[in-house]
Homo-oligomer: A and B are copies of this chain.
Amino acid sequence: MRHHFYRHLATATAVSLVVLASPAVMAQEVRQEPVADFTLANGLEVVVIPDHRAPVVTHMLWYKVGGSDEEPGKSGIAHFFEHLMFKGTKNAKPGEFSRRVAEIGGQENAFTSNDYTAYYQQVSPDVLPDMMRFEADRMRNLILTDEVIGPERDVILEERNSRVDSDPGGILAEEIDATLYQNHPYGTPVIGWKHEIAQLNRKDAIDFYDRYYAPNNAVLVVAGDVDAETVKKLAEDTYAKVPRGPDLPPRIRPTEPEQNTARTVTLKDPRVGVPSFQKNWLVPSYTSAVREKLDGEPEALDLLSEILGGGIRSRLHQELVVKRGIASSAGAYYQGTALDDTDITFYGSPRGAASLAEVEAAIDSEIAKLIESGVTQEELDRARNRFLRSLIFARDSQSGMARIYGSTLTTGGSIRDIDEWPDRIRKVTTDDIRAVAKKYLSPDRAVTGYLLPAGGNAG
């Protein structure tokens, strides 16, 4: 699955990015002022999403670079910048930007995925000029010395230790990805392999910064109590002064070969209490489907995962958790917003006396049943309504809206894709659902991960 790593400064808890799983919302139903989109002379694309319900503005700068753009052997350098960007620049002391956000009661954060890196602040509109000035400054003026890099590398190694290496689920997730992706860099963890993080140095950082941190490789998204003209003027005063960076080639990464085998990945660990499993398949993303001429499949995969495993009304939850009572959880998710072929995941964990094997068999059986008999029109309609409704809620969050635009525009999608997306979801038929299930969810090509207590077994 595509992983996000968050850096938390002002915020105390992880921000849910579940909305990223789909590239759009019911934009036209609820939007009031139109979204503005323009490009500065230096190549920076700017999207303004007016939202005047509260005197708040979300300022997000997205870079079209993520973990999967790293050179082999340099894993973790993209995420490294999520840390380095909070250090000093030629014009601002280390931490000065963050202190400014904190002193006016704002929030800030940053996150890195396989495909993008983003930085944001949520503040009152009067300090937006300040935010833009600081953000434009650190796009090019970071001071990258050994004194900065060395200690921060230790911080990141400790972050990796606490998030991945101390967590059996984290370790397993990495090896599942490495197994599912046989050739594509989605198999490499965004935070980086430990031994490669440990080798990252000043030269790596400067090379990466000079290549990818430039206005023509970024998208600015400003959502909130502000209008496009104001943002445009402010952008001219700040970002427009940053010189254009190198022209980058298309983001073409090694792609997957045909997958011909069923694979399993098993981790037994004394820290695991209740066993769990997940089953993954390689499927097209919204962007790769366009390249591969698989129109409509991502939309069908979104609804397939909703019907089978999206929340408490889904088949898996109803059958395994509610009706049979053998699972404490069971569901599915599809990561459609990605530059390249992505994955759909089914998961479950047993309850009471039930075994993990029973839960897995029940999920397999639900998938087989759907492939065999499809879904009814009524079931599709209900799932589609739930799905579209959940996106209206997502849109209600200013930062959620900004994330939809940012993540879509940095993974090969367009504003038109966002606008048209609800209609494309509406066009999905019951046949489409069954067709993608049949095409992709073959037991002979699944990658299944088992997280087991020490001494446990998957059977």
Partner of A259, one of B175, B188, B252, B263: B175
A169 to chain B, nearest CB (A): 12
Within 8 A of B (CB), among A180-208: 182-183, 185, 187-188, 193-196
Contacting chain B: which of A15-23, A265-273, A303-311?
A: A265-273
A258 within 8 A of B: yes
A250 within 8 A of B: no
A73-B196 contact given A175-B263, A178-B183, A266-B261, CB 8 Å threshold? no
A275 to chain B, nearest CB (A): 14
Determine if A261 and B257 form an interchain contact, defined as CB atoms under 8 angstroms apart: no
A261-B193 contact given A73-B252, A182-B187, A254-B73, CB 8 Å threshold? no
A255-B195 contact given A263-B266, A266-B263, A444-B268, CB 8 Å threshold? yes
Determine if B194 and A258 form an interchain contact, defined as CB atoms under 8 angstroms apart: yes
Q: How far is B102's CA from A405's CA once the two chains are assembled, in angstroms?
A: 66
User: What are the interface flags for A233-254 relative to B under an 8 Å C-beta threshold, 1 for contact and 0 otherwise?
Assistant: 0000000000000000000111
A9 to chain B, nearest CB (A): 29
A377 within 8 A of B: no
Q: How far is B246's CA from A323's CA once the two chains are assembled, in angstroms?
A: 69
Which residues on B sit within 8 Å (CB–CB) of A255?
73, 195
Determine if A261 and B267 form an interchain contact, defined as CB atoms under 8 angstroms apart: yes
Which residues on B sit within 8 Å (CB–CB) of A174?
257
Instruction: Find the B residue at minimum CB distance from A268.
Output: B444
A444 to chain B, nearest CB (A): 6
Determine if A264 and B264 form an interchain contact, defined as CB atoms under 8 angstroms apart: yes
In which size bucket is the chain A interface? 35 or more
Determine if A265 and B261 form an interchain contact, defined as CB atoms under 8 angstroms apart: yes
Which residues on B sit within 8 Å (CB–CB) of A196?
254
Instruction: Find the B residue at minimum CB distance from A448.
Output: B264
Which residues on B sit within 8 Å (CB–CB) of A444?
266, 268
Determine if A263 and B265 form an interchain contact, defined as CB atoms under 8 angstroms apart: yes
Within 8 A of B (CB), among A160-174: 171-172, 174
Q: How far is B75's CA from A265's CA once the two chains are assembled, in angstroms?
A: 26
Q: How far is B459's CA from A73's CA once the two chains are assembled, in angstroms?
A: 38
Determine if A261 and B182 form an interchain contact, defined as CB atoms under 8 angstroms apart: no
A352 within 8 A of B: no
Which residues on B sit within 8 Å (CB–CB) of A151?
none
Which residues on B sit within 8 Å (CB–CB) of A259?
175
Which residues on B sit within 8 Å (CB–CB) of A263?
175, 179, 263-266
Within 8 A of B (CB), among A435-459: 444, 459
Q: How far is B75's CA from A72's CA once the two chains are assembled, in angstroms?
A: 14
Q: How far is B263's CA from A79's CA once the two chains are assembled, in angstroms?
A: 28
A172 to chain B, nearest CB (A): 6
Instruction: Find the B residue at minimum CB distance from A174.
Output: B257
Which residues on B sit within 8 Å (CB–CB) of A459?
459
Task: Give the residue among A172, A182, A259, A265 with the most B Cβ atoms within 10 A.
Answer: A182
Which residues on B sit within 8 Å (CB–CB) of A267?
260-262
Task: Give the residue among A185, A265, A459 with the most B Cβ atoms within 10 A.
Answer: A265
Q: How far is B179's CA from A261's CA once the two chains are assembled, in angstroms?
A: 11
Determine if A193 and B183 form an interchain contact, defined as CB atoms under 8 angstroms apart: yes
Which residues on B sit within 8 Å (CB–CB) of A185?
72
Q: How far is B264's CA from A187's CA once the two chains are assembled, in angstroms?
A: 17
Q: How far is B188's CA from A255's CA once the two chains are assembled, in angstroms?
A: 12
Besides the known contacts A72-B185, A263-B264, 18 further A-B residue pairs in the complex with CB atoms under 8 A apart: A73-B253, A75-B183, A75-B254, A172-B260, A172-B261, A175-B260, A175-B261, A179-B182, A182-B187, A194-B257, A194-B258, A195-B257, A196-B254, A261-B267, A262-B265, A263-B263, A264-B264, A459-B459
- Smallest CB-CB A-B distances: 9 pairs: A178-B182, A73-B254, A193-B257, A175-B261, A264-B264, A262-B266, A72-B254, A261-B265, A261-B267
The interface of chain A, by Cβ under 8 A from chain B, is: 72-73, 75, 171-172, 174-175, 178-179, 182-183, 185, 187-188, 193-196, 252-255, 257-268, 444, 459
| Interface pairs (6), CB distance under 8 Å | A72-B253, A73-B255, A172-B261, A174-B257, A195-B257, A263-B265
